[in-house]
Amino acid sequence: MSKTIVATTSLAGCFGCHMSFLDIDEKILDLIELVEFNKSPIDDIKNFTKMCDIGLVEGGCCNDENVHVLKDFRAHCKILVSVGECAIMGGLPALRNTVPLQECLEEAYLNGPSVAGNNESGIIPNDPELPVILNKVYPCHEVVRMDYHLPGCPPRAELIWDALYALVTGDPLKLPYEVVKFD
């Protein structure tokens, strides 16, 4: 039987969810038996080379590049999972959502105590290479359809493992009460 193909990415995240994923320790040996990675920082494949079964997305969308990557994931993955708080709710980056974007950028580059007087040309970074910042940080499901949400900041290694294992094998995911009593 061919292996399940998995892709992962970190959008507006801190890579903490990926690090947590690596915390499965020796199970990583089971993991490579279980799945094959495609586009992912884990194997450094930059672009999709084939259709994937599962896409794990860390982080929400704070710029246009995030949106393109996320849409690419949606186009190439049968199942898409929001992994962690930022993907699900926007997380820490979304703190800026309460401040209008213009004010936010001006504070960061023109008026903030650490920049005031040091940015004589008054430029807000605008190199064409730089992604364009979105008006607010969007959780993934507000941009494309997401199939599952895996909460946590980051989700524990075992939870990511159990969820992935359940998706690959089709077995139901065991969710004891301690795991779901978030409120």
Residues of the shown chain interacting with other proteins in the complex, contacts defined by CB under 8 A: 63-64, 67, 100-102, 105-106, 124-126, 128, 132-136, 138, 141-145, 183
| Gap between the Cα atoms of 62 and 29, Å rounded | 34
Which lies closer to other proteins via its Cβ, residue 98 or residue 135? 135
Nearest-Å Rg of the Cα atoms of the chain is 18
Q: How far apart are CA 63 and CA 101, in angstroms?
A: 12
**Dist. CA 37–CA 44, nearest whole Å:** 10
Backbone dihedral angles phi then psi of residue 57, each to the nearest 5 degrees = -115, 120
Residue with smaller CB distance to other proteins, 43 or 142: 142
Q: Which helix (H) or strand (E) holds 135?
A: strand 133-138
Least distance from other proteins to the Cβ atom of residue 60, Å: 12
The residue among 118 and 135 lying less far from other proteins, judged by its C-beta, is: 135
Q: Supply the DSSP symbol for 98.
A: G
In the complex, least distance from residue 159 CB atom to other proteins, rounded to whole angstroms = 23
Nearer to other proteins, 14 or 105 (CB): 105
To other proteins, the closest distance from the beta carbon of 110 in angstroms equals 10
DSSP classification of residue 169 = H
Least spacing, CB of residue 134 vs other proteins, in Å? 4
